[in-house]
Amino acid sequence: MTEVTLRVSNTTPLLTGWYDPDRVDPQGLRATEIKGIWRWWARAIIGGSLYDKRMLIGEGGHDIIRKPSRDEARLINCLIGRILGLGYTSPEGSESSRFTLIVDPIDSVRISELEIKKEEEGRHKRRIEYQRLNLLTLKKEDKKIKILRYIDPGHEFKITVKRIRTRYTDAEDLALRILILALQLQGLGKGARRGLGSLDIMDITGINIPKGLGELINTIYESALNIVERYSGECKQSIVRSFDKPVLPPIPVISKSSYQGNSVASIYVIEGVADLGGFRNVHNFFVRTERCRVLHRSPICYDMLRRTLQAWILGLPRSQRDPRIKTDTGYIVKGEVNRRASPIMISYHSKDNLFGSGVFVTFTMSGDWPRKLEWVRVVSDKQGRARRKGQPLSLNEQDIVQAMRTAFREFKDYIGRLGYRMVGVWP
């Protein structure tokens, strides 16, 4: 049995789910949530290798611009579940995970409560430090008092991963390294992509890991290429094709390829962020009023994402109910696709982290976006009455590229206005 142990500490508020969605799991970290981001990053790493080897092209969908073909999805599932050992079920068979994951709190978990009274929840009066916590308070305004529970930063946990059986040692070692990368580049729980639930890794035993984050990613990337080349033949959906023309990957991937001169994946560290206050400033980029405060010194503005109607690139759904017309405004997804997670992820690490401090930002560009949206806003008619006005938006791969360019430029400008500096980590 191989056993890897990580000692971690949360650097930002941690909101892990429980059987009651209004409460936080008293254990703090949940093994199921760690397994969830582990599998997501394994798919991104393996998908990136397949994309770079021209084995992941995808196909157009009715409601989605690009998605994996059935054979491609089965190949990814086989490589992640059967070869890396994370478990799988398919028509050809099934296998449980070859790893067990156990989480133990090192210290007593303290759950904090934030009480928000209804009279303080007016549309322009709510002011909570973290944008994601702001969004969580929008959903139950029928209650006079909303109690938001979370775990304060600074709690330590021990994560133990045991390899209970072995079939492909090199692939299973890759899986363990991917887990470490996942914990560095994404948080856990609610608001994970916005950096909430970020974990410092303060100690690792049981596996050799490069000291630098860039070196770790390169090691994982090269290993993944070797795994794909060595073991794809063991999966019945072995695919070797060439692009007729360049296309975006059908899923978010960690790849060294580019599309129309833009990196499909890139990772940066924002230097100079020394405390939670700095992290909050970066975290709040994703709400327009906060972007406007920094970029235009006013909570109301037409920033570039708003002016070009490209803010959908920050994640969908991106809408809010307007009480004047009693319907949602913002970007409404049309068709069967109802959400699309943000392609920009952040995490925050302190000086105690083995891979360095700062805010780490991951950008991924892929074609899995809905084809049709509707931009809805409120306008006044001649009598001054509020009414709904919708504008249809049809998206294609070029729109995704342009929106990502706009978001990147605006994010970089925002970081500069805060007095920080973005430095490339990978590729």
Tell me the pLDDT tens digit for each residue of 249-269: 999 999 999 999 999 999 999
Q: Is the pLDDT of residue 169 over 90?
A: yes
Report the pLDDT averaged over residues 93-101: 92
**Which single residue is written with the structure tokens 């410092």?**
200
Q: Is the pLDDT of residue 116 over 60?
A: no
Total structural domains in the chain? 1
φ, ψ of residue 95 in degrees (nearest 5): -155, 135
Q: What tens digit of pLDDT does each residue of 288-306 get?
A: 888 999 999 998 888 899 9
Report the pLDDT averaged over residues 44-50: 97
Report the pLDDT averaged over residues 311-336: 78
Q: Is the pLDDT of residue 183 over 90?
A: yes
Give dist(CA 313, CA 140) in Å, integer.
26
- As given in the structure block, the two tokens for residue 54 are 């021209």
Q: Is the pLDDT of residue 162 over 80?
A: yes
**Band of residue 205 on the pLDDT scale cut at 50, 70, 90:** very high
**Band of residue 330 on the pLDDT scale cut at 50, 70, 90:** confident
pLDDT given for residue 18 in this prediction:
77
Alpha-carbon torsion, ordered 56, 343, 101, 202, to 10 deg? 120
Name the residue with higher pLDDT: 283 or 389: 283
pLDDT given for residue 118 in this prediction:
46
Q: Is the pLDDT of residue 240 over 60?
A: no
pLDDT given for residue 123 in this prediction:
43
Single-letter code of the amino acid located at 331: Y
| E-assigned strand segments in 250-295 | 258-259, 262-263, 265-271
pLDDT given for residue 132 in this prediction:
55
φ, ψ of residue 148 in degrees (nearest 5): -105, 120
**Band of residue 245 on the pLDDT scale cut at 50, 70, 90:** confident
Residue 393's domain comprises 2-426
Single-letter code of the amino acid located at 296: H
pLDDT given for residue 24 in this prediction:
79
Name the residue with higher pLDDT: 164 or 136: 164
Report the pLDDT averaged over residues 200-219: 95
DSSP string, 212-255: SHHHHHHHHHHHHHHHHHHHGGGSTT------SS----SS----
1-5, 33-37, 337-341, 392-396: least confidently modelled range: 337-341
The residues that bridge with 72 in the sheet, in sequence order, are: none
Give dist(CA 176, CA 220) in Å, integer.
10
Contact 184, 190 (CB under 8 A): no
Q: Which of 108, 35, 37, 46 is nearest to 80 (CA)?
A: 46
pLDDT given for residue 16 in this prediction:
85
Q: Is the pLDDT of residue 138 over 60?
A: no
Q: Which of 346, 338, 332, 319 is nearest to 407 (CA)?
A: 346
